[in-house]
Homo-oligomer: A and B are copies of this chain.
Amino acid sequence: MTTSWESIAQTAQHHRDATLAQINPPLPSIDTLPLNSTPVPRTVLTDSELHITESAPETLISHLASGTLTSTAVTSAFLRRAALAQLLTNCVTELLPPAALARAAFLDNYFREHGKPIGPLHGLPVSVKEHIGMEGLTLDAGFVAWHDRVAEENAHILDVLWAAGAVFYVRTTQPQTLMHLETDNNLYGVTVNPFNRNLSAGGSSGGEGALLGMRGSCLGIGTDIGGSIRSPAAANGIYGFRPTSYRLPVSGWSATMQGAEHIVPVIGPLSTSLAGIALFTKTLIDAQPWRREPSLVPLPWNPHPQLATLPSGTKVLKIGLLLDDGVVRPHPPVLRALRSVAEKLAEVEGVQVVEWTPYRHEWAWTVISSLYFADGGREERDAIDASGEPWRPLTTFILKENGNVKALSVKEVWDWTWEREKYREYARKWGDVDVILCPAGPGVALPHNCARYWSYTSQWNLLDYPAVVAPVTKVDPAIDLAKPDYVPRNEQDEYNYQLYDEPQRYANAPVSVQLVGRRYEDEKVLEAMAYIEEKIGLPWAEFV
């Protein structure tokens, strides 16, 4: 006798709701879900809770390390706001109130006894995407059929963050197959954008994205093989970082295609601050995770400034500006944000902005999408069909409508891998450019089930370049007008163009940019982004 997928989903949601019911004091029920959820916390949470949850992680850590805030206070505040974020955006698979509060109490006690923090993240709540294994908890990776998989031990990354003092208090949603730039599965439904519930939260780390956009977390863990950290960061007005592969520990997650190495998925942070991104990455690398996980490269975190300086001490930064990949033209707000940033930067002493000519970005998509599902998507089909759950629209898109998904022979996989290596001659295009400034996607957060063009992010996965996404501004329909006279270049371009027929649909949506560096130049990318923010005063809008 098989349990129906609907019944499994209902059980999962009941469990989630039961963990929400543990929140104390309980949240009021929300009768009408507003279009824009971001103002709601002000009407529900205490001043103290608002103050804590709207602080940057580096600020919280500083208070936790000096004893001016307890982990119990911080964790309690984030638990309540995460619960509220769930009610408003459907971004949570479960809260962990008893475990998190016990952990917080332990850390507070440690601090009282020793008079110092236990590690660099002492007492900080960190949110975790569901498919990253947490001992004794589910590991469904978005498949109904995997609902009864349970992690035997913590993922390596959680052990390292735990040793650094983190508190795990919430687990977040992801799409069926993990291979959407959207967050939609049959266990929990669709995660919606905090700024506009008619728009997507991005994906696949969209649970993290919406949770952080709601300030139900200030630092979370996502994963990225084609944009899955950067898409939700961009959609929700927060920061997201895809590091170079093999720098951060990945062992202990659950996903299809274990053992596939053609395109390497990575783990990385989403945060409400750029400093949070750097703190997360540095903390993990400083722990020398390569000692336990030998697939990792023993590149220490480089503490030295990576940008050159003029004799005056002013930094030198040469930026390649990529407005358009030549295949799909980004929507007006994306182009406006990039142009404005570039114009402001051109006025900064030591900064030079040059045009970056895209090199065969269409071919890059052919290569990467041929390698994504080299078994023809067999594992995903089997995992979906095992429970009889319906195919979500973007699963159908990426597996069935993507002409590059084929069951390859081993030889064909080698040939495509060779094409990938040849394409990495992209390295020769850099010259003395330090970073590439480019769109984080073909538009801002898109309407649900419309994220069909991955190349603005997947491009850098193919090349294995580190890339950070940062918020800049918001869509203003009065400025970001549609271009009725634009003539699309191709079918994809036309699809994307038509999505922007009514700018009003996107009102208030965050607009972000992406900054990309050469392979392994993770530290340089983050340094350059921080310098850009400092010099031109980014972001130019409030997101909370």
| Residue ranges of A at the interface with B (Cβ–Cβ < 8 Å) | 257-262, 290-295, 297-299, 374-375, 378-379, 407-411, 413-419, 421, 424, 427-428, 463-464, 518-520
Q: Are A259 and B295 in contact (CB under 8 A)?
A: no
- Which chain B residue lies CB-closest to A374? B410
Contacts of A374 in B (CB 8 A): 410
Contacts of A294 in B (CB 8 A): 424, 427, 463-464, 518-519
With A260-B417, A298-B299, A299-B297: A520-B407 Cβ-Cβ less than 8 Å: no
- Bound-state CA distance A258–B407 (Å) is 19
Q: Are B411 and A375 in contact (CB under 8 A)?
A: yes
With A291-B427, A292-B427, A292-B428: A413-B298 Cβ-Cβ less than 8 Å: no
Contact pick for A413, options B290, B413, B415, B418, CB 8 Å: B413
With A291-B427, A299-B297: A259-B407 Cβ-Cβ less than 8 Å: no
Q: Are A417 and B259 in contact (CB under 8 A)?
A: yes
Contacts of A520 in B (CB 8 A): 290, 297-298
Contacts of A463 in B (CB 8 A): 294
Contacts of A419 in B (CB 8 A): 259
- Bound-state CA distance A415–B379 (Å) is 12
Closest Cβ–Cβ distance, residue A261 to chain B (whole Å): 6
Q: Are B258 and A414 in contact (CB under 8 A)?
A: yes
- Bound-state CA distance A262–B262 (Å) is 10
Closest Cβ–Cβ distance, residue A267 to chain B (whole Å): 16
- Which chain B residue lies CB-closest to A412? B410
Closest Cβ–Cβ distance, residue A5 to chain B (whole Å): 25
Q: Are A414 and B290 in contact (CB under 8 A)?
A: no
With A375-B409, A411-B378, A520-B290: A295-B421 Cβ-Cβ less than 8 Å: yes
- Bound-state CA distance A512–B294 (Å) is 28
Q: Are A408 and B410 in contact (CB under 8 A)?
A: yes
- Bound-state CA distance A518–B298 (Å) is 11
Contact pick for A261, options B261, B378, B407, B518, CB 8 Å: B261
Q: Are B407 and A410 in contact (CB under 8 A)?
A: yes
Q: List 10 contacting pairs A-B, 8 Å CB cutoff, sorted by A.
A: A257-B414, A259-B419, A260-B414, A290-B520, A294-B519, A295-B421, A298-B299, A298-B519, A407-B410, A409-B410
Closest Cβ–Cβ distance, residue A459 to chain B (whole Å): 14
Contacts of A375 in B (CB 8 A): 409-411, 414
Q: Are A297 and B295 in contact (CB under 8 A)?
A: no
Q: Are B409 and A259 in contact (CB under 8 A)?
A: no
- Bound-state CA distance A125–B260 (Å) is 42
- Bound-state CA distance A250–B73 (Å) is 55
Closest Cβ–Cβ distance, residue A180 to chain B (whole Å): 22
Contacts of A413 in B (CB 8 A): 259, 410, 413
* Minimum-distance CB pairs A-B, first 4: A259-B414, A259-B418, A259-B417, A294-B427
- Bound-state CA distance A294–B291 (Å) is 24
Contacts of A408 in B (CB 8 A): 410
Closest Cβ–Cβ distance, residue A524 to chain B (whole Å): 11
Contacts of A519 in B (CB 8 A): 290, 294, 298
Q: Are B292 and A259 in contact (CB under 8 A)?
A: no
Contacts of A416 in B (CB 8 A): 259
